[in-house]
Each structure stands twice: as structure tokens, then as C-alpha cells.
Chain A
């Protein structure tokens, strides 16, 4: 990793901190590292035990590896912030997005309104890879994540998913 964050070589970074404020700062730092890592490796589905063993959570130089409880706390925070959702009940895997799902949802609806796609059907593929959406924050976002953002809109009755591939904005 180039431009490594200072925390990476700080041993307490790998232990979940007890002081609430300290812990919040620690988890914030971890969250941004995780998001950066997923952007770099273009992975959005994350297995917690796998990522704990990866270079992200392990520093062999100072012989530290993040504790399980720390990794769980990092991803719980990401879920809480709206950057991730659990893929299973046992919380061993999650789907991670660099933008929060709600900001993606807002951007999608805004685009639909601005580009005259209200009451029209779009494909999920279009919303992720289409020419029309170039420059939008959801460009190249995995379809899986787009669907979750659209589900948020569906709850607000601003969109309706059609099958597994399409959506209609209201």
C-alpha cells in the first residue's frame, strides 16, 4: 500500500479500543481503509474471516492481526452507516458500497427525474453501465448494489423493481 495511513503501523489499531470516543475514531479509520481497499480491488462482496486474514487487517511487520471482534465492529459500523448490508443472518458476509445506499438512491432518483425517466422502465444494467449515466456517482457500481438502492426507493414508492433486471421510476 502506498501512502499508508499512520494507524497501520500503530499496534493498538489492531485491538478494539475500550474508550468509546477512541473506539469511534479507530473504527472510522478502519471504515475508510476498508472502502478504499474494496474500491482498489473492485470487490463488493466481503467475507469477514477472509478479509481478516488479508493484508488489509494484518501487518506482519509489527506482527499484528486485527482481532475478530474488531473486524466485526468495523463492519457493523459500516452497516450502521449505510455502506454495507449483511448477506446472511450469521453476519459472516456483507455487501459493501463506497457510497451509502441512501445517497445512491437519491442520485438515481434525481437522475431519473432530470433525464425524464419517470414512469419509464430502465434496466439495471443501464443504470450501472449505460452511456446515459456517465458521470453519475452510480456509474460502474455493481448491479447488486444498485438493486439495494432501488429497493430503498421502492419503499418510498418512488420506484418499482420489475423482475430481476428492470425498474420503473414514479
Chain B
């Protein structure tokens, strides 16, 4: 009941009355008051109660929500408002300084009037006309002079709304981008269709190749049919020389695409180019090799198994305590995976034997074989 205050003075010039109900009675919480048979009027700025010789009001900025409570056989229909407390400094005098409840209730005389009143109040709360007014004329004293910033729950609600609006804007912007993308996709689809129709003829392969080039899938004519093989040779040759004569396919793939920078090629393409490189492009002097363990390498074609074994046997004399894959990898410059493969290959050929102890696997010259000769 302490939300209601005496109204003195003139209404705001920008204020409009939105609706009225007659025969209303105010409540303090659930308890009837003597303010009865008055007229409640809802304006863009406030809710006013005109009694017989008194006028009370609540500014809309204090109202958080409005609900209607339908009547029953012994209760009149009511409007229930949730309202913030008055700001201490702004509160004009009122009939009561305390309240039984944060709800402000008033009863209406006729059925359906409560719904009508709630609708009007809600619309006024949405429009927030009082706020615009306050922003434009911050110096006007009185209730409307409250700073342009809203406070309390109202502020939270407002900031949420603002955020929501911003998100909406962003979403629609994103959809715009998507539309653009779809337009591009359309172009691409058309291109593919023309490609398909053009290919329907003789010389399909050549045509497809030219189409692919126009799509940027093939770099240029100079490399011709052996494009990828040549690239592999150019990119991997120096790396292979540096790393003891071979590299695993994963490294080759990475190196190739790193060199390309853009227009990357798929692992499958690199793999198939490498597989056939010794036949299709022997000038590269490279050989694709797949070890029993499943790892695949690209290696110098002059690097035979026998040469590898010879090198290991020369190296192993430096390791009377046994040669590990790590030792060998460090000495020969191979990656550890390749080093392990080499040692196992030499073992299977009978040139090495293994010592598998708690200290790991070490390789020794195959003395079993040497002693029996």
C-alpha cells in the first residue's frame, strides 16, 4: 500500500490516458481499504486512483508486472501489480508508509474489466513512454526526472532485451552470409554440370583435366601428367638425402603440402603418386616401399636392403652393449620408426639377433650364424 502516493500537480504534457475503470477499490495486501468506488486510470506514465476526495498514483516505472485475478462468487475480480519500492529521495507523501505486500491490488466492479486493465498496463509497460520522456528532459524535476538509466529489475529486463535484440541481429547477419555462400555453391554446381555435359564426348580425360585445371585442382600445364610425382621428387629428394635415404610417407605428405601452401592434395593422391613413382618417373631415383609392419616410406632407389644392412653392421661395432633403434636412428639420421624397421629387416634376414631384456630391445650381430660358419 506504500506504493500509492498523493498526486499533486499537473500531468506531464506528453502523457496520454490509455483507459479507465470505474468502481474500483484498493487493497493493502489481501485486506480491503476504504479507498473504494474510485476510478483507476492508466496512462502512459502512471496508474492513478481517483477517489472521492483524493487522488493517488503509482508511476509505471515502478511496475514490474501485471496480472489479472478472476473473481468468484464471494470475491471480486482483481488486478495484481508487482511493484518496486519507491526510491527514498523521490517518494512524495502517501497515505501509508508501510505495505503488507509487494503486490498492489485493486478490485474492479465488473467481470472482464480486470483483463482489460491488465492489457492496458502491459502495453504501457512495453511502450515505456515515460522513459523516452525522461531522457529527453532530464532536468524536469519530479518523478519523471529519474535518470535515463532504469534501475533494479527493470534494468535487468531491459539489458536482457537489448542483448536478445543484438543476438537476433547477429543471427540474421549470419544467415545473410549463408545466403551468399549458397549463391556461390550454386555457381559451382552449375560449373560442375557444364563440366559433366562437356565431358560427355570423346577425349573425356583431356577435357576433364582441363576442367579440373580451370577449377584450380591442377596447378599448371608445365608439369603435365606427372605433376604430383615431379613435385614429390623436388620436395622430398633433398629431405630424403638429409635423413639418411628415406622418409615415411606421412612426412612426405606433410612436406609436399607445406611446399604447396594452398591447393593441398589429399593423402590418397600423394600415396598413389608415390606408389608408382619408380615406374612413372624413374628420373627421380625414388622408390616406394612398404614394410611388413605396415609403415610406408619413400626412399632413395639406390638404397637397397643389402646396403642398409651393411651400414648397420658397420655401425653396430660401436655398440658392444647392443644397438637400440634409438641409437641407430640418432646415428643414421632416420626417424625412429624407420630405424626400427631397418633393424627388424636385418634381423629377419639373419644378420642381427635381438636381446629383449628389461632394458629394452637391443640388437647384436648374429653370432649364432657367424660361429656356425
Contact = CB atoms under 8 A, between A and B. Distances in A.
A15 B367 contact: no
Given A18-B347, A19-B347, A11 B367 contact: no
In terms of DSSP, what is the predominant structure of the interface of chain A? helix
Nearest to A63: B357
A15 B356 contact: yes
Contacts of B116: none
Interface string A10-36: 111011011101100110010000000
Contact of A11 (B348, B350, B364, B372): B364
A12 B56 CA distance: 105
Interface in B333-373: 347-350, 353-357, 362, 364, 366-369, 371-372
Interface string B177-217: 00000000000000000000000000000000000000000
Q: How large is the interface on B (under 10, 10 to 19, 20 to 34, 35 or more residues)?
A: 10 to 19
B354 A15 contact: yes
A151 interface: no
B362 A11 contact: yes
A6 B367 contact: yes
In terms of DSSP, what is the predominant structure of the interface of chain B? mixed
A18 B348 contact: yes
Contact of A21 (B350, B355, B362, B371): B350
Nearest to A19: B350
Nearest to B361: A15
Q: How large is the interface on A (under 10, 10 to 19, 20 to 34, 35 or more residues)?
A: 10 to 19
A26 B371 CA distance: 11
A168 interface: no
Contact of A22 (B350, B355, B362): B350
B357 A19 contact: no
Most-contacted residue by chain B among A7, A12, A21 (CB, 10 A): A12
A64 interface: yes
A25 B362 contact: no
Contacts of B362: 11
B355 A15 contact: yes
Contact of A12 (B349, B350, B353, B372): B353
B357 to A, nearest CB: 6
B357 A15 contact: yes
Contacts of B94: none
13 contacts: A7-B368, A11-B355, A11-B362, A12-B353, A12-B367, A19-B349, A19-B366, A21-B369, A22-B366, A22-B369, A25-B372, A26-B368, A63-B357
